Chain A
């Protein structure tokens, strides 16, 4: 951006006289957002916390229950299964998506002809409505007539039960996300790679660095903030984003082997109408997201290289 124009960030003559008028105008302009935030985010968050301390099944009037819902959660064997399943799927799927996207992006960045076509093809699955892609994969993984088993058959392997096998349901879900989830990181990495100056590569090459050494010591450090940001966002988003996929394909089964956190909350709240227990689960999920964000930011100090960090 041109630095010669004065922008709103630092007005050259801060006008004290206008400040209070501007403050009033600011509040007027922010009011719609504030009402929305209080009614649909902050308010419900507090309400969910209160509900989690009640005993409320929708049929009888609510009663104060203290920490009972949280105690129940600790004694709920399914809760641990759900945490394990969510961690299994998200911690496998998101890093793998990033690795695949990075490898493809590195290849596409070699000034290849037809880059746009390749990019479009890899990106396309991520734009498919999740309901439609979930139904498509349910059909691909159909144990009797699906494409997956037909392919196994042609190379002489026995058919699998994929989403319908308690051992394979989670890996199958991960496989689907590797098809549908690389589009976004791919485009971000491609943009990021364009920001790596060629002069750095040339300098490293003159110093005798091979292709891998240049990737390891030039590209990777410069990309690391982007990789890191997308890792956090990706894992947190996956808690929410995989709901539709799992709800359509396995409905959490077989034998709860693919029951993920958000699906469990959904069932408790809107199938069993066990509102207060669901609210407690939802708050635990929220705390997990918070903790994950904090841990990630702490870890980032050790391995993320921010450009120009030495100067500030």
Chain B
């Protein structure tokens, strides 16, 4: 198996084998059976995607025919252009990018700093604070949103991107703090001591030693944060009421109410929203896997 990342995460050096053992002939039979089962199951999992693409390429009115026609005739690529222009999707895209890029960049750096402090510096109350940080992972976001709404209303943050950025720029990615802390603890302390001899303070050590050594965690966390902000729905829904500030996730939903019967355009718009995530996934699959493994194997 080529997924070396996973074995690394487990620091397993032993050879792995399946549950089944047996003669070579038995194993071959087993593999044929498994391939058959997996191909079938994969088709089930891919079917909705095929349905989405098929619908998105159909002529207006053809998408609502029974029995459905799988291969669109004619193939209407124009639907994708219409999906982009039917609503101010480009404006929504711009808004989404502003929020996603800013919140991701600031959020990852903030998580790294907090993770460094929790993992490498000693100060009274550190472990208590770290426990509090971890417990926010369990907290359903809606619990804090009611007072947040009232607060943002008071200080004029409603209808700005600030509620979607500032909490993360101040270390709101608790999972990121955790991952950076774990990583910071694996870096030899000699590095710090050498830097301290040269007169560097903690902040300087973080910025010029720890951060440059955190490459894989930075990549993983950037991806996790990017996807989080790109897909975020509840907070933009509550805190952005102005039409011109809508993000893609919110815009896509409006598509449904304004173009209720235009399923072909709706599916085209959905496919377009999936595209950047898909591109990111295939470009950096390793870090997706790593992020999940690091956060899920903690047991």
Query: Which A residues contact B (CB, under 8 angstroms)?
Result: 1, 5-9, 11, 19, 22-30, 32-37, 39-45, 47-48, 51, 104, 106-116, 118-125, 127-133, 135-140, 142, 144-145, 147, 150, 153-154, 179, 184-185, 187-188, 190-199, 201-202, 205, 211, 214-215, 219, 225-226, 228-230, 233, 236, 239-240, 243-244, 247-248, 262, 265-266, 269-270, 275, 278-279, 282-283, 285-286, 289-290, 293
Q: Given A8-B189, A37-B132, A132-B252, is A110 in contact with B31 using a C-beta cutoff of 8 Å?
A: yes
Asked if B68 and A289 make an inter-chain contact with CB atoms under 8 angstroms apart, the answer reads no
Closest to A28 in B: B203
Asked if B122 and A22 make an inter-chain contact with CB atoms under 8 angstroms apart, the answer reads yes
Q: Given A7-B189, A128-B277, A131-B233, is A36 in contact with B143 using a C-beta cutoff of 8 Å?
A: no
Contact with A along B35-54 (1 / 0, CB 8 A): 10110011001111101100
Interface of A is mostly: helix
14 contacts between A and B (CB under 8 A): A26-B122, A30-B114, A44-B144, A107-B38, A114-B35, A132-B252, A135-B270, A194-B3, A195-B10, A197-B12, A197-B14, A201-B17, A229-B296, A289-B139
Contact with A along B235-272 (1 / 0, CB 8 A): 00010000000001100110110000001001100110
> Which 9 A-B residue pairs are closest in the complex by CB-CB distance?
A36-B170, A26-B123, A33-B171, A229-B299, A47-B147, A225-B299, A191-B6, A25-B202, A188-B296
Q: Which residues of B lie under 8 Å from residue A132 when comparing CB positions?
A: 252, 270-271, 273-274
State the interface size on chain B (CB cutoff 8 A): 122
Query: Which B residues contact A (CB, under 8 angstroms)?
Result: 1-3, 6-7, 9-12, 14-21, 27, 30-31, 34-35, 37-38, 41-42, 45-49, 51-52, 55, 63-68, 110, 113-114, 116-124, 126, 129, 132-133, 136-151, 166-167, 169-172, 177, 184-190, 192, 201-203, 206, 227, 230-231, 233-234, 238, 248-249, 252-253, 255-256, 263, 266-267, 270-271, 273-274, 277-278, 281, 285, 288-289, 292-293, 296-299
